Structure 1
Amino acid sequence: MPSIQDKTWIKLWKENTPEIRDRVVEWRKDNAITRIDRPSRLQRARRLGYKAKQGIVVVRMRVGTGGMRKQRPVAGRRPKHLGVTRIKADDDMRTVAVRRVLERYPNMKLLGSYFVYKDGMHYWFEVILADPMHPRIAQDKELRQRIPQITA
């Protein structure tokens, strides 16, 4: 069940309000992987395990759309057997975003990720990471349960 804050964010996104458009203009100028101070959707991030403490990092990831076309064969054959149409991606955009962030931050463990915005060219996701070796994270009982690799 979406919270009031989630419903508000979805409404802002669907109506394409000026507040969110101004934010996205800035996001397009940023790098694809941008570390941010705090999550855009705070309640959603808290449900995934975010806490405002040392050792937890929030990253906004931009993923480009497209790239789903397969090269058309040179030799002739009937259109049904060209193998160009009905090509589906094995991974959705969110999985691609998480994988790219984890490649950039190899020492961090994934707490969760969520959708932020989408336009005609890009998707934006926010990914929450925790450093299992950080003392503040290793002492936190709740985070130890979320990430089984953490040992006190």
Structure 2
Amino acid sequence: MTSATKYIRRSFRKSYKKRDVPLKQWRGERTVERAEKPSNPVRARTLGWKATKDYIVVRVRVKRGRRVRPKADQGRKPAKNRKRENPGKSWQWFAEQKAAHRYDNMRVLGSYWVGEDSISQWYEVVLKRD
């Protein structure tokens, strides 16, 4: 007998494969956008989300790929400047930082991946009011 949580988790895995419609809508939104409810409530509950006024879910878009450092190359050859480098932190960490900066009166409880396309990745960040 499978529990309800396992069944819901499996159904979310299947639904992630057919995620074109929300991604098209999310591309037109701002980088940090508040969601009315989580797209994956099972994962949000494991991170501590509750359906009260003190908890919110925020969808954050981050760029994929390596980070480009904002540094002038001063006329050097493309192979000789080190503009692109790996920051050493995951994009999920950057998404949590963006959400914490936007909602500075709230505390980050956690985040989870919700989708990606060729340019961006989206994470949902669970925040709790201090």
Give the TM-score band, short-chain normalised.
Answer: 0.7 to 0.9
**SS class of match (2:34):** strand
In structure 2, the gaps of 5 or more residues are none
Asked if residue 94 in structure 1 is aligned to residue 96 in structure 2, the reply is no
**SS class of match (2:27):** helix
Aligned partner of 2:36 in structure 1 is 37
Aligned partner of 1:7 in structure 2 is 10
**SS class of match (1:3):** helix
Identity %: 29
Please report how far the alpha carbon of residue 115 of structure 1 lies from its aligned counterpart in structure 2 after TM superposition: 0.5
Aligned partner of 2:115 in structure 1 is 117
Aligned partner of 1:21 in structure 2 is 20
CA RMSD of aligned residues (A): 2.6
- How many aligned residue pairs are there? 122
Partners of 2:7 and 2:44 in 1: CA distance: 14
More helix by share: 1
Partners of 1:47 and 1:129 in 2: CA distance: 13
Partners of 2:43 and 2:92 in 1: CA distance: 15
TM-score by length of 2: 0.80
Q: How does 1:72-151 map to 2 (within 5 A)?
A: 74=76, 82=80, 84=82, 87-132=85-130
Letter in structure 2 aligned against 1:102? A
TM-score by length of 1: 0.69
The 1:86/1:7 distance shift into structure 2, 3 A limit, reads farther
Partners of 1:43 and 1:33 in 2: CA distance: 22
Letter in structure 1 aligned against 2:100? L
More strand by share: 2
Partners of 2:37 and 2:76 in 1: CA distance: 51
The 1:83/1:127 distance shift into structure 2, 3 A limit, reads same
Aligned partner of 1:46 in structure 2 is 45
Higher Cα Rg, which structure: 1
